[in-house]
Amino acid sequence: MATDHSILSRHTRIKEVYGEQCLARCTIFRWCQRYEVERLNIKDWIRPGQAHVVTNSATISAVGELIRQNRRITTREVAVELSISKGTVYHIIHKRLGYGKDCAQWVPKHLSEIQKTARMGVCQDPSATQEFLH
């Protein structure tokens, strides 16, 4: 627990740095007492305001499922559906899932070997286009 003497020395040091623009001694005393009494650990306390949503596996899979159900869904619609920010949706779609928008549809940026083989088959046999699309 901080003693009155150590609080007074803190005020003196602060006054040396900031001069007459320094906080009042009673304010510093009150802050030090409150810190000593209330501050038991160094973790941040919960503060009011918008909570930060951590991008977790459940959110990523939910975004992926919405895109698989409707490839034309917008980031705004996904954000509203899952109650997360558009920035978080953008990050998940582009960085975590690796999708990009092409012709108003979400498509993987990098094709798997199976998708590459199917695409090459379509190029060689135009009658296979329907199978490739599904």
Collapse the DSSP code of 78 into the 3-class scheme (helix H, G, I; strand E, B; otherwise coil) and give the result. Answer: helix
Q: What is the pLDDT of residue 19?
A: 86
Q: What is the pLDDT of residue 88?
A: 92
Q: Is 2 helix (H, G, I), strand (E, B) or coil?
A: coil
Tens of pLDDT, residues 62-78: 999 999 999 899 999 99
Q: Over the chain, what is the mean pLDDT?
A: 80
Distances (CA, A) of 121 to 42, 81, 105, 111, 117: 60, 37, 22, 14, 6
Structure tokens at 110: 């990098």
- pLDDT score for 4: 64
Nearest-10 Cα torsion for 83, 89, 91, 95: 130
Give pLDDT tens digits for 89-125.
999 999 999 888 877 778 777 777 887 888 777 777 7
DSSP string, 31-58: HHHHHHHH--SSSPPP-SSPPPPP--HH
Q: Domain coordinates of the chain in residue numbers? A: 4-36, 50-96
